[in-house]
């Protein structure tokens, strides 16, 4: 092999190694983007590829249980009715976990809507009103008065940060404001390039 050929081969090896390292580093960001798109679209088949539901279920059960325990501790000397509500919520951990360990629940978690531990709580489901209408609503006749009340402004999206905690653990942190509770979605590496959502951390 000539000196020029060796130089070309060496350069190609370096390019491949650098590209592989770049892909390894970027893999959780890619997985997170694909998971969020699939969850927002309620694409259950794709969501299943990026979520370890048994691990997520166990994490939700533990985290919601701790959240309710904190609520009960805070309310022991406060409103007894509020404490009763928290205790009822503790009895309903199973249904809450079941509702969040779904594509709807994953979409809520990745859009800044974690479980709060309220009795009967379920993740929001996508509105079908707009899609069923087949486009923008027709304009009202000229004789009809315009609505007087303007709709309330939607809550702004949460502040989001993401990064590695270790080679095998990646965290996405959410917070709506300086005084609001934070929570994190945890992804774990499966192989070199694959990642799955495995846990949440509810800090509120």
Q: Kindly report whether the global pTM for this prediction surpasses the value 0.95.
A: no
DSSP 8-class letter at 52: -
Contact residues for 170 (Cβ-Cβ < 8 A; gap 6+): 28, 32, 162, 163, 164, 186, 187, 188, 189, 195
Average pLDDT over residues 147-161: 62
**Residue 115: its pLDDT value, please?**
87
pLDDT band for 78, please (50, 70, 90 cuts). low
**Residue 80: its pLDDT value, please?**
59
Average pLDDT over residues 29-39: 95
Sheet containing 169-175, strands listed edge to edge, beginning at the edge strand earlier in sequence: 159-166, 169-175, 182-190, 194-202
CA distance 180 to 158: 10
**Residue 179: its pLDDT value, please?**
56
> Which two structure tokens, joined as six digits, stand for 52?
């370890």
Higher-confidence position of 169 and 131? 169
Q: 130-147, pLDDT tens digit by residue?
A: 333 333 334 334 444 444
Which helix (H) or strand (E) covers residue 196, if one does? strand 194-202
**Residue 34: its pLDDT value, please?**
96
CA distance 192 to 178: 36
Q: Do residues 84 and 10 make contact, with C-beta atoms less than 8 angstroms apart?
A: no
């Amino acid at each position: 092999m000539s000196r020029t050929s060796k130089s070309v081969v060496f350069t190609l090896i370096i390019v491949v190694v650098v590209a592989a390292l770049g892909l390894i580093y970027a893999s959780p960001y890619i997985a997170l983007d694909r998971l969020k798109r699939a969850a927002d679209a309620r694409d259950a088949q794709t969501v299943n590829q990026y979520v370890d539901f048994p691990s997520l279920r166990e994490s939700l059960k533990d985290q919601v249980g701790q959240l309710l325990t904190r609520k009960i501790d805070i309310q022991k000397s406060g409103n007894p009715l509020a404490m009763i509500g928290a205790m009822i919520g503790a009895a309903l951990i199973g249904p809450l976990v079941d509702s969040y360990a779904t594509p709807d629940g994953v979409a809520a978690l990745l859009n800044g809507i974690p479980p709060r531990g309220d009795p009967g709580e379920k993740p929001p489901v996508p509105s079908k009103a707009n899609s069923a209408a087949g486009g923008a609503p027709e304009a009202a006749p000229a004789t009809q008065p315009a609505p007087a009340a303007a709709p309330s402004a939607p809550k702004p999206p949460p502040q989001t940060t993401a990064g590695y905690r270790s080679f095998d653990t990646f965290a996405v942190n959410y917070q709506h404001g300086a005084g609001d509770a934070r929570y994190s979605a945890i992804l774990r590496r499966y192989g070199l390039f694959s990642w799955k959502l495995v846990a949440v951390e509810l800090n509120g």
